[in-house]
Amino acid sequence: MRSQRFCLVATLIFAAVLGAAAQSNALVDELLAQEPARVDYAAYLALAAGGAVPETASPAEALEAARAKGWLPAARAGEEPLRLDEYSALVMRSLGLKGGLLFSLFPGPRYAYRELAYRGVVNDSGGPKRRIPGDEALRILRLAMELKGGTR
C-alpha cells in the first residue's frame, strides 16, 4: 500500500513537471513496473525532464539521443538493466547539473555517481553498479530537480 501511494505521488510529480502528457504518463507507469529499470525508459525519463528530447519521444528515440550525445555508450542496448552510475550521468548531463572538479573534466558515470552520492541524491550503500528499479529512478530524478532548483 505504501509503495503504491509512493508511486502515485511520484507519478503526479513527474506528470506535473512534464506537462501531464498522456504518453509520458503511460511510459512512467511502465517504468514504475520495471525492476530493474530498462536503459531506454530511464533515458527517456532523464532526457525528457531536461528537455533534451520532447515528451512525445519514444524510449528508443531517447536512447538514441543519449547515445548521440555521448551520454551512454553506443553499445548499450535499450532493454538492458539500468545501472545507478550511468543513470547518475544521464540525470546530471540532461539537467545540466554542475559537479565537482573531476566531473567537469571527466563527466562520466564515475564522477556523476559520486557527485550525486555526495549531495544525498542517490543511495550509495549498494555501490555504483547497482541495478535500480523504476521507482528509484523517478525518485532520483525528483531529488536532482530539487537540487537544480535550489530547494535541496
Partner 1 sequence: MKRLAVLLLPLFLALATAPAQEAGFDLQAAAGYSATDAGEFSASGKLKGWFRLPLSSSARFSGSGYLQVGTIPAGSSAGVDAFKAAVDELGFELAIKAPVEGMQGFSFDLGRFPFEDPTGQIVSTPADGLGFGFHYPNLIFSFRAGYTGFLFRETSDVAMSLADAGRAASTEVLGPARFLGLASLELPPLFGQRIGLSFLAQEDLNPESAFVQAGAQVYEPGKGGPLDTQYFTLRARGPIAAGLRYEAFAVYGTGRILSWLDDAASPSGHSYRFAPIQSGLFGLSLALPLESFLPQATVGLKVLVATGDKEASSATEGNTQAVFHRFTPVTSSSLGLVYSPSLANLAFVEASLGARPDFLPGRFQAAAKLMTFLRTTAGPVSEAGLDPASTSAYLGTELDLVASYGIYSDLGLLLTLGAFLPGVAPAGAFSTAYAGSHLQFAARLAVTLAL
Chain residues binding partner 1 by CB under 8 A are 99-103, 111, 114-115, 118-119, 124, 126-130
Cβ 150 to partner 1 shortest distance, Å: 12
Nearer to partner 1 among residue 16 and residue 151 (C-beta): 151
Shortest Å, Cβ 21 to partner 1: 34
- Least distance CB 100 / partner 1 (angstroms): 4
Report, in Å, the least distance between residue 115 CB and partner 1: 5
Angle at 57 between CA 56 and CA 62, to 5 degrees: 150
- Distance (Å, rounded) from C-alpha 108 to C-alpha 89? 6
* CB-nearer residue toward partner 1: 14 or 103: 103
Give the separation between CA 148 and CA 15, rounded to whole angstroms.
18
Beta carbon of residue 149, minimum distance to partner 1 (angstroms, whole number): 17
The Cβ of residue 118 has, within 10 Å, a number of other Cβ atoms equal to 12
The set of cell numbers assigned to 94 is 540532461
Inter-CA distances, 4 with 9, 33, 51, 135, Å = 9, 11, 28, 10
Strand residues in the chain grouped as ranges (E) = none
Nearer residue to partner 1 within complex by CB, 74 or 101: 101
With respect to partner 1, which residue has the nearer C-beta, 115 or 135?
115
**Minimum CB distance to partner 1 smaller for 67 or for 119:** 119
The answer to whether 62 and 43 are in contact (CB under 8 A) is: yes
